[in-house]
Chains A and B, each alone.
Chain A
Amino acid sequence: MRRLAAITVTALIATVTACGGVGGSADSGVYTTIDGAKQIDATAPINPFNPQGNTFLGYDAMTLAWPKNDPVDPNRFYPGIAASWTVTPDQGEVVIHLQPKARWSDGKPVTSEDVRTSIGLAYTQGGTAYAVDPKAAGSAADVRVVDARTVKVTQGASKSNLFLRNVLSTVVVPAHVFGHLLPADFWTTLKAARGTGPAAEKAKAQITGLAEKVISFAPAKDVSAGPFTLERVNPGEALLVRNKHFYANQNIAPDRVKVLNYTGNQQIWNYLISGSLDSAPFTAVPTGVLKRIRETEGNEVVKGFSPVAVSLAFGQTRKPYDNVHVRRALAYLIDRSQVTKVASPEAGTPAKTTTGIHAKSAQAWLGNGIGELDQYQVDPAKAAKELEAAGMTRKGGKWAMPDGTPWKVEIHVPASFSDWVAAAKAITSQLNDHGIDATVLTAADYTLYLDELAAGKYDVGFWLMALGPSPYNIYQRIYGSANGWQLLAGQLTHVPPGTQGNWMGGPEIIDGINPGALTSRLNAANPDEQRRIVGTLAKLTNQQLPVIQLYDYVNTQFVSTSRYTGWPPADSDVLRLPAGVWMQLGMIKEKAGS
């Protein structure tokens, strides 16, 4: 009997402990949130190089600096592991000064050697500032330790004005934990790889061959230079505890951070409605659900600039979309306000016109120049004229191809993007109203959608664009590899439509302008030249309509004032950074009496 009682008590304790796993919103000193970038995989290693890794940017994973959410300038930052930095005007040389008080959670100081090792590990993953190919634009040519707290990174001959941004985005890991992943002769091999000939190729292969080893490395415990360090992770949540060695520990209010896992937006909505989350990054939310979230005491919505827009893009080699008059006709028939109202009333604003740029950035880049562009207000008469100019015929109230065969507009979207599905349906309804037979076709998921898009299977599909703030990144979405321009080893080439992912299939030269070359030029141009190029590309995009810009996204985030205060205001330039960074900057404070 006594044994039975003991078992019962043990079971009760176990149950209570288990039930306290998720939520725990009432716990004092605990900050509860989700990671918007990934779902938790409890089996993944504590490794920031692993895409599923159990490290959380801003909390236990630190970059050298944190980019500000500026509509135009990609080179504005808040300090991270780097306290300050200097850069030459051409961004040829970046000198980074580390936080003097920065220490790892095991008490060891964060040194220049840690940064150098992190850069070495980043080379094994390739891309941005750390491409092994010396001809790649904006790649680092040399990494030099100046002293224990100063590092100098030099850009290669093929310059990019995104070099500073890419260098400062480097995730810093401890050399005494990750350093053994790099062979002793790594830097000699890297130097050889940046040369030419068979020896260089062999060295390149050696470096890229390390990628898998780096990704799969699983440290026994988390050694963090951030405000928190990972204590434990299970399929439901990750628990991070305060790193007492963090250089700005006085700014950090919570003692612990719980990162809750989720299987989809539905679960995030439920967390928010139940008041479990202190903050949540951007999450797509229907109007009815937003109302429920707002009804929860303490919940508030913070909105800000999001350099992303969605568009209707055309396969320009496919008839009748090869004809600009057809594309313009569709632009005159699509009521963008109505589309936005149906698809994304809370997280979108109707595009003022098609420029390729988010309206807020466009204002800064183009100024009054926007007014000179065609606004493509709904105008069925103009649309009819454009369709007639394209040779389209009208039979029994329905528009048909020039040869009289039926014209069916098939708009493709991934089924998992509910706002895109609703937007596509709204567009087909509008087109059907105007005698154009239109229908929506969905792809099972986004990966399949992108594969089929790249394979040139779609006439018309939804496309993310305006991915700023860098103008190069913005126009690369329209005049980049999806439209045939490929920048490989510093050489820009244009591949024929239907090959190597060129599904947009636009002409290489339009009215004497090579938009891909201009876009590539944005990478190295000075601000004045950038402004001129952006003006040219915006005008060209507005006239040629390789895409029809539908709505610009609004960054919609959620915070709760129940337990913490000091949240960033609307339109703050920290809004797209993780809440861990807000804490580092001293923004979040525990509410008195909570």
Chain B
Amino acid sequence: MTVTQLLPAPATPRRNFWRGVLRVMRRKPSRMAGVAIVALFAFMGLFGPLLYPSPLPRDDNALYAAPSWAHPFGTDFEGTDVLALVVTGTRYVLLAGLATAVITVALGTGIGLLAGFHRGRWDTVLMRLTDLQLTIPGLPLLLVLSTVWKFTSPLEMGVVLGVLGWGGIARAVRSQTLSLRERGFIEAARGLGLSTRHIVGRELLPSMAPYIAMNMLIAVTGAIYAQVGLFFLGVLPFDANNWGVMLNLAVFGGGALTSAAALPYLLAPLLAILLLTLGIVLVVDAMDEIFNPRLREE
């Protein structure tokens, strides 16, 4: 009887949580816009290629055509609709971004947790490894790697970007772990003789989950910049609907910075990158409030 009075009904916290999420989202309309943008890009990534015929139609008589109802962002050097290129190119960008984020977060969190929780030798070895990773200049290494590795799949791209990007998160997670491990609930867990796996997996990790989730989203934006930058520099394989390749061809092939003819071809992928980043930032803003009790109380 006492027990049933003390423990709340299992469905209530979840319902309260989603109600809280809704409340946080409604508080700023920009957050709803962020979710809508991310959802739109997710939809484009999942179903974009299904919306257009493959290969995309070309029109020899409309090379670098100006924006029109038929081609809202004009056409490219082959007379292909630029919007179609952006939409069908979303999948590669998102997949590479997600793969990067997953690898960055998994490696960074795992290493940070282990180092922070065990301290001592584990900490020394893992943090020196982290320092080493942080000293590796990412872009020059990628430029060198691209001469031997063609990165034809987004997952390959994601693996490399992820392996080069976990250092910052590992450092941050270690700091959080060092702080949390001194808290009472961890002391209690230790006192109860719970296993390290339980303490790390069930006690420490959930406390840091919001932080990790936000880092994951931010890692997606970082990965998008990195991969688009590499494609823009022309060091990665050519794929006409890749946003970076589009930027490269618009600038160097179409002279978009000099002539207005290829400007829509340049602006479309730029706008896509800007929108996606904006969407992610707005979602991160919402997540911050959802998971941060102090902000929530306000």
Contact = CB atoms under 8 A, between A and B. Distances in A.
Interface of A: 264-266, 269-270, 273, 285-289, 291-292, 338, 341-342, 413, 415-416, 418-419, 421-422, 424-426, 429, 432-433, 439-444, 448
Question: Which are the 10 A-B pairs with shortest beta-carbon distances?
Answer: A288-B261, A415-B234, A288-B259, A289-B255, A418-B253, A440-B238, A286-B255, A444-B235, A289-B259, A442-B238
Contact of A273 (B63, B236, B258): B258
Nearest to B256: A288
A70 to B, nearest CB: 32
Contact of A266 (B63, B235, B258, B261): B258
State the majority secondary structure of interface residues on A.
helix
Contact of B238 (A273, A291, A441): A441
A342 B63 contact: yes
B64 to A, nearest CB: 6
Contacts of B233: 444
Given A338-B60, A424-B238, A286 B253 contact: yes
Contacts of A341: 60, 63
Contacts of B259: 286, 288-289, 291-292
Contacts of A273: 258
Contacts, number: 90
Nearest to B61: A341
A422 B249 contact: yes
Which of B147, B234, B235 has the largest count of A CB atoms less than 10 A from its CB?
B234
A419 B58 CA distance: 18
B288 interface: no
Contact of A425 (B60, B150, B238): B238
Contact of B255 (A285, A426, A433): A285
Interface in B226-264: 233-238, 240, 248-249, 251-255, 257-262
B249 A444 contact: no
B13 interface: no
B262 to A, nearest CB: 6
Contacts of A287: 63-64, 261
B172 interface: no
Contact of B77 (A264, A265, A422, A440): A422
A340 to B, nearest CB: 11
State the majority secondary structure of interface residues on B.
loop
Given A418-B249, A422-B249, A441-B237, A288 B254 contact: yes
A288 B262 contact: yes
Interface in B141-175: 143, 146-147, 150
Nearest to A338: B60
Which of B78, B143, B259 has the largest count of A CB atoms less than 10 A from its CB?
B259
Which of A291, A413, A419, A421 has the largest count of B CB atoms less than 10 A from its CB?
A421
B258 A292 contact: yes
Nearest to B248: A415
Q: How large is the interface on B (under 10, 10 to 19, 20 to 34, 35 or more residues)?
A: 20 to 34
A548 B236 CA distance: 26
A1 B131 CA distance: 54
A410 to B, nearest CB: 10
B55 interface: yes
Nearest to A267: B258
Nearest to A426: B78
B150 A288 contact: no
Interface in B32-55: 55
A310 B52 CA distance: 33
B78 A432 contact: no
B58 A288 contact: no
Contacts of A433: 55
8 contacts: A288-B64, A289-B258, A291-B261, A292-B258, A341-B60, A342-B77, A425-B240, A444-B146
Nearest to A451: B147
A342 B240 CA distance: 14
A270 B251 CA distance: 13
Contacts of B252: 264-266, 416, 418
Nearest to A432: B55
A52 to B, nearest CB: 23
Contacts of B64: 287-288
Contact of B78 (A289, A342, A415): A342
B237 to A, nearest CB: 5
A439 B238 CA distance: 8
A429 B55 contact: yes
A286 B262 contact: yes
Contact of A269 (B77, B255, B260): B255
Contact of B257 (A266, A419, A422, A429): A266
A415 B233 CA distance: 8
B258 A442 contact: no
B253 A416 contact: no
A444 B234 contact: yes
A288 B262 CA distance: 8
Nearest to B54: A432
B257 A415 contact: no
Contacts of B261: 286-288, 291
B80 to A, nearest CB: 9
B253 A421 contact: yes
Contacts of A441: 150, 237-238
B92 to A, nearest CB: 14
Contacts of B143: 444
A291 B143 CA distance: 35
A341 B233 CA distance: 25
A98 to B, nearest CB: 46
B147 A444 contact: yes
Contacts of A439: 238
Contacts of A285: 255
A293 to B, nearest CB: 9
A424 B233 CA distance: 18
Nearest to B263: A288
Contacts of A418: 249, 252-253
Contacts of A422: 77-78, 249, 253
A288 B78 contact: no
Contacts of A286: 253-255, 259, 261-262
Nearest to B253: A418
Contacts of A442: 234, 236-238
A270 B233 CA distance: 21
Given A291-B259, A440-B237, 5 more contacts: A269-B255, A288-B262, A415-B234, A442-B237, A444-B235
B233 to A, nearest CB: 8
A519 to B, nearest CB: 33
A404 B97 CA distance: 36
Contacts of B260: 288
Contacts of A292: 258-259
A266 B251 contact: yes
Contacts of A429: 55, 58, 78
B143 to A, nearest CB: 7
Given A288-B259, A288-B262, A444-B147, A415 B254 contact: no
B99 to A, nearest CB: 21
A289 B253 CA distance: 10
A191 to B, nearest CB: 46
B43 to A, nearest CB: 26
Which of A416, A441, A442 has the largest count of B CB atoms less than 10 A from its CB?
A442
A421 B233 CA distance: 13
A413 B259 CA distance: 25
A338 B254 CA distance: 17
Contacts of B253: 286, 418-419, 421-422
A338 B143 CA distance: 33
A519 B23 CA distance: 81
Interface in B69-106: 77-78
A448 B147 contact: yes
A491 B64 CA distance: 52
